[in-house]
Amino acid sequence: MHILVLHGPNLNLLGTREPDVYGFDTLAGINEALTLLADDLSISLTCFQSNSEGELIDRIQAAAHDCDGIVINPAAYTHTSVAIRDALSAVALPVVEVHLSNIHCREEFRTRSFIAPVAVGQITGFGPDSYLLGLRALFNHIKKGL
């Protein structure tokens, strides 16, 4: 099983970006924890971050050929991107949407997700654990379907 983990814009700044909201963990640290979990689950993982909507879409399209599912933190694109949602629908892979912060108890504009309706589920508010829970949930979901 091969899973793609996608990180959206500004998540490369984790560690120094608004630590009161996002904590002090870096993206490299999160990817390392995900890789350890992937090893435990005996699956392979590709992690990719971009600040560009087009690059994220290109990676989603490529995943149709080489991945079994996607864990995505679309960051701000969660609330704006019909294009990322359409790409996820197009590839028809199982998707889990994750967020470090709880998007439902922040500003009103963050409560709307364009991605949630095309995801298996959404995990939000558990810091880096959101990613680990998301990977486990996606793994279990895919295994059930195998």
Which residue among 99, 104, 131, 141 is the active-site one?
99
| Nearest residue to 97 (alpha-carbon basis) of 114, 110, 116, 81 | 116
> What contacts 33, CB < 8 A, 6 or more positions away?
128, 131, 132
Q: Any contact of residue 88 with ligand DQA (CB under 6 A)?
A: no
Grouping H, G, I as helix, E, B as strand and the rest as coil, residue 21 is helix
By the 8 A CB rule, do 31 and 5 touch?
Answer: yes
Tell which positions 97-126 bind ligand DQA, by CB under 6 A. 99-101, 103, 110
49 φ/ψ angles, rounded to the nearest 5 degrees: -120, 140
Q: Which of 31, 49, 73, 113 is in the footprint of ligand DQA by CB under 6 A?
A: 73
Cα(58)–Cα(134) distance, rounded to whole angstroms? 22
Q: Any contact of residue 7 with ligand DQA (CB under 6 A)?
A: no
- How many residues bind ligand DQA, per CB under 6 A? 10
Query: Is 104 one of the annotated active-site residues of the chain?
Result: no
Query: Is 2 one of the annotated active-site residues of the chain?
Result: no
Per CB under 6 A, which region of 27-35, 60-68, 74-82, 136-144 contacts ligand DQA?
A: 74-82
Contact set with ligand DQA (CB under 6 A): 10, 73, 75-76, 78, 99-101, 103, 110
